[in-house]
């Protein structure tokens, strides 16, 4: 299969998952760039931020038109993540690549676990506690900046269990958080790496954005728990592959 075809296929799968689940799909962007498309871990995390930003913004628009975004809550959550995202993105450029790969494997494993242990349906909305929202947002920003992932697999459970949003609102609001954090982390990495392979990144991003547009339709056809379990299984396999690679 050609490089272009691989980029289009991987982008479509990641976009579908992100649009349907509000997170998780971007965790596959980095391993796809490394193992399918030949990027180094450092270049892959930066390229992933470009892909995640565009894809999340596309999915955010789709969810916003359906009224599934809680703008005030999302803005507070995202604002708390900007400084950690900037700091972590700068730190990531100084970390040895095997360590970066191992850290990513750990996060992919965590993402799979969170998907298997899917959060219960959201409770009645309650007033947002700024301290709790800020703490969760800062942690998410750190992960986004360091590893180049959106972190929706952590944002959605946090928005449901910590802030009391219903699942649909949590998915839509998480996309706002992911978009803001990814932009911040990408800004911190600008100019820190060799030129990126735009001939690969552009079609990958385009396919992911189109996939995210249809992700909501996919979620309506397949039950959420079934979709999460299938994706979690793939993530576990990816985590095992990356950890093995990092240890050799």
pLDDT digits over 63-109, tens only? 898 898 999 888 888 888 899 888 888 888 788 888 888 888 888 78
Using CB atoms within 10 A of its CB, is residue 61 exposed (0-12), middle (13-18) or buried (19+)? middle
Residues 83 and 203: beta-carbon distance below 8 Å? no
pLDDT digits over 27-54, tens only? 778 888 988 898 888 888 888 888 888 8
Q: What is the pLDDT of residue 116?
A: 74
pLDDT digits over 214-235, tens only? 776 766 666 556 666 776 787 7
pTM: 0.75
The total of structural domains in the chain comes to 1
- Per the structure, the complete domain to which residue 85 belongs is given by 3-247
> What interhelical angle do 167-189 and 130-147 show, nearest 10?
50
pLDDT digits over 177-218, tens only? 888 888 888 888 776 655 678 899 999 999 988 887 777 676
């Amino acid at each position: 299969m050609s490089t272009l075809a691989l980029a289009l296929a991987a982008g479509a799968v990641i976009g579908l998952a992100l649009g349907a689940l509000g997170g998780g799909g971007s965790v596959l962007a980095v391993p796809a760039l490394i193992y399918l498309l030949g990027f180094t871990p450092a270049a892959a995390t930066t390229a992933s931020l470009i892909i995640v930003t565009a894809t999340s913004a596309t999915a955010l628009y789709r969810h916003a038109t359906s009224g599934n975004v809680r703008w005030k809550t999302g803005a507070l959550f995202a604002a708390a993540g900007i400084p950690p995202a900037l700091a972590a993105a700068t730190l990531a450029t100084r970390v040895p690549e095997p360590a970066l790969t191992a850290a990513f494997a750990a996060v992919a494993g965590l993402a799979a676990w969170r998907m298997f242990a899917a959060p219960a349906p959201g409770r009645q909305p309650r007033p947002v506690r700024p301290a709790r929202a800020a703490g969760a947002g800062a942690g998410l920003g750190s992960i986004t900046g360091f590893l180049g992932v959106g972190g929706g697999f952590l944002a959605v459970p946090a928005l449901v269990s910590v802030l009391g949003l219903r699942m649909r609102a949590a998915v839509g609001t998480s996309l706002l958080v992911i978009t803001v954090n990814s932009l911040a982390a990408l800004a911190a990495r600008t100019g820190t790496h060799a030129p990126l392979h735009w001939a690969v990144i552009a079609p990958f991003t385009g396919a992911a954005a189109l996939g995210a547009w249809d992700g909501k339709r996919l979620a309506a056809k397949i039950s959420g728990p079934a979709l999460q379990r299938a994706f979690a299984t793939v993530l576990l396999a990816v985590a095992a592959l990356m950890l093995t690679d990092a240890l050799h």
